[in-house]
Amino acid sequence: MRCPYCGNDDTQVKDSRPTEDSGAIRRRRVCNACGGRFTTFERVQLRDLTVVKKSGRKVPFDREKLARSVYTALRKRQVEPERVERMISGVVRQLESLGDVEVTSEQIGQYVMDGLKGLDDVAFVRFASVYRNFSAADDFRSFLAELAEDQTVIDEDR
């Protein structure tokens, strides 16, 4: 792991422990060149996923890009970061458990929408507006009408 202070690649792990969500390992490191101490968070990746875009182009899956889009939808919303990280880790686990190395951007978007629906309604609608490419206010109205219908069906089933 490269030292953030001097750029040296020769660093030593001094302590490792799992994070609270068990999705990452927290490591305290020391640089052998400058003596700087820093922390890294490393995630276990079961397989290298490839995302197939709508255009057919293939790109490597990037967890950080997924997290940025989720945090953008959640901007200025009062949701605990631990819940957000659990949701993101859950989406990644779902993708990895599909058993295929290629996943579509539509699958990723649907898993994120499912996760956001249980996390925050406003973030869910924000993400849906980008994911479904809303271009007019009527798109929001029809989407919210669908949500209201879905909620009515759920309430009737109870």
31: Cβ–Cβ under 8 A, 6 or more apart, which residues? Answer: 3, 5, 6, 8, 10, 11, 37, 38
Do 86 and 21 belong together in one domain? Answer: no
Would the pTM count as exceeding 0.85? Answer: no
Do 22 and 95 belong together in one domain? Answer: no
Asked whether 110 and 85 are in contact (CB, 8 A), the reply is no
pLDDT at 129: 87
Tokens of 22: 């068990």
Asked if the structure places residue 123 within a domain, the reply is yes
Asked if the structure places residue 4 within a domain, the reply is no
Do 39 and 62 belong together in one domain? Answer: no
pLDDT at 147: 77
Do 68 and 137 belong together in one domain? Answer: yes
* Higher per-residue pLDDT: 156 or 37: 37
Asked if the structure places residue 5 within a domain, the reply is no
Residue 105: give the domain boundaries. Answer: 50-157
Asked if the structure places residue 56 within a domain, the reply is yes
Do 38 and 80 belong together in one domain? Answer: no
Q: Is residue 123 very low, low, confident or very high in pLDDT (cuts 50, 70, 90)? A: very high
Asked if the structure places residue 1 within a domain, the reply is no
Tokens of 42: 């490393």
Do 122 and 107 belong together in one domain? Answer: yes
Q: Which of 13-22, 58-67, 107-116 has the lowest mean pLDDT?
A: 13-22
Average pLDDT, the chain: 87
Do 81 and 120 belong together in one domain? Answer: yes
pLDDT at 156: 61
> CB count, 10 Å around CB of 99?
6
* Higher per-residue pLDDT: 151 or 103: 103
pLDDT at 50: 93
* Higher per-residue pLDDT: 38 or 154: 38
pLDDT at 74: 96
Q: What is the count of structural domains for the chain?
A: 2
